[in-house]
Structure 1
Amino acid sequence: MIAEVYDMRRGLPCHLLIITLAWFLTDTAGAQSPAATPKIPGCRLDSSNNKFIQPTMERAIDAYAVIGKPLAITSIAINPPAPSTDGKTLDVYVVIDAAKGGTDPSGCATRVPRDTDPIDPISVRGGCVITSVEHMELRCSSSAVSIFAKAGRKEPRESLALLYVLSHELGHLHQKRLGEYAGRAERIDIGQPPAAKLEILRASCDPVSTKMEEEADASSFEILVKLVGAPPYRDPILSERGSVYSNIDQLALAADGWQKLNARRDFIKPAASAQGIRAHRVSNAGGPDRKKRKGVCLRCP
């Protein structure tokens, strides 16, 4: 149950913010395993949104210090030609997505993933993920960054959605743990007894990783609350409350955009479509027609 939380001094509708972010993070948890992240060729790096990523990261790092969780980061390098060696620089790589089999021998993308295409090993699953703690490396999907930065608008900017996602990954650096939670999918025969289905779900959820994700979520939400009332997130045309509502709408739009991309890549497979299997989240696994469905894809939140 999501508690209603209010900023009593300002009367901000933080309960709506929490609800929106809970929805948003459900769709950004499906990260690839960082243990085997391949080297990224220069042709796969996208620098078009650097001017939004850099200040967003700097703002989030400063805010972590303010809330008593300082990070050992003194500089940020976006798409550096070689890994930083000073131990205090966060290397951020924004990777262009490519379809599996849609690359040349050098790893350069020759084909953008279509709706039902799996992505190649260099592409980043889960939006953004910390892939190294020791020398501090973050990888983001170029498509995801674009969705987060636009947040439902035509042009990218320093959006609250981008701030939240990047702050979440910084939370993993503070934990000194990789962004390893995979939010994997399980196919469950809904004709099984409830106890059997529950056991499958329980076995697919890693409680340690879940706890780490919840802690990173809490930190990123704290950062968001600290900064939502200040530029560039505070809309000067609107009232303070109106600006918060506007940001909530943008978070929802970003979540919707990411959900659609995620669903197409993670759940909609040609074979499954041919068999008429539909993808559903846990919250949608019931319903009057549940006995008619032979398989349901469930994602561990």
Structure 2
Amino acid sequence: MPIRSMAVVPANTTGSGGALTDVTGVSYSASNGYGSKYHLYAAGLDWTKPVGLLVHFHGDGAFEYNNPTNAWMLGGVNGMIAQAKARNMILLVPLTPDDAVGRFTWWAWYGKEENPRYAKDLIAYILGRYKIDKKRIWLSGYSGGSQFITRYLLPHFGVDLGIVGGGFICFAGGQAPASTFAPYNPAFKAAWHCRWVAGALDDGTGSSDGFNAIAASNAGAAWYSGQGFVTEVTQLAGKGHDLDGLYGPNTGSEIDARPVPATLAEMKKLRHGGQVIKEGRTLIGGVLTTVYKST
């Protein structure tokens, strides 16, 4: 069974048709009838190399969505837009379709077929329009956006997002799931890294709603750790709920710290008994994966 040559196979989606530019305020409607908008930053990426995806879920009120050039989070040389591009990743920033409480939250419409379905459909839509390395899919959230990731989106759809590797970084929030959840398979657990970042002073004291981000982070980390995920909690000394200018650098360093899951090699020409084998599949971390196709 001779092997002529070998090369690393990226676990890419086969999407096409997406704009290779920065676009803002793009409308999108999901299968549940919910509609909203998103920003997407894809200009200047190197498509000859694997391209990752970072999806950010805004906090209550959607300040970062409404102010994408502000250096508080998305804009500036250290903002999340720059951090994503420096790592050859698309940044997707959706606006919640939920304005029922007048605050534009991700967590208020939390049922599986509500905001979680909208987010899941949007991510699938983007994966279908770009060639994305499924080993480099990351989620980030701030406050209510973090709550949405850990309590609702991943519990309902974590196994359906097409993720082979990546993780999440949750700022100022991220409690344990609020309801039943789809069991996570071992491959997803092994490839998914869970990180919480909270200000060491963010204990709810003096806040209008009493939300304790430290307690939320610790509870979320304990739950996900109990499910077999790799977890880490960081408290930033002297900081409260507002982590002005620190979101981008912490996101970039977290992505850099996590190794991309290894893949098997592609065999350019594989023969057995004189016949060319057209396709080979094997289990990688419990997932049946195509590792060879004849060319």
Which structure is higher in helix share? 1
Q: What TM bracket, shorter-length normalisation?
A: under 0.3
Q: TM-score, length-normalised on structure 2?
A: 0.27
Q: TM-score, length-normalised on structure 1?
A: 0.26
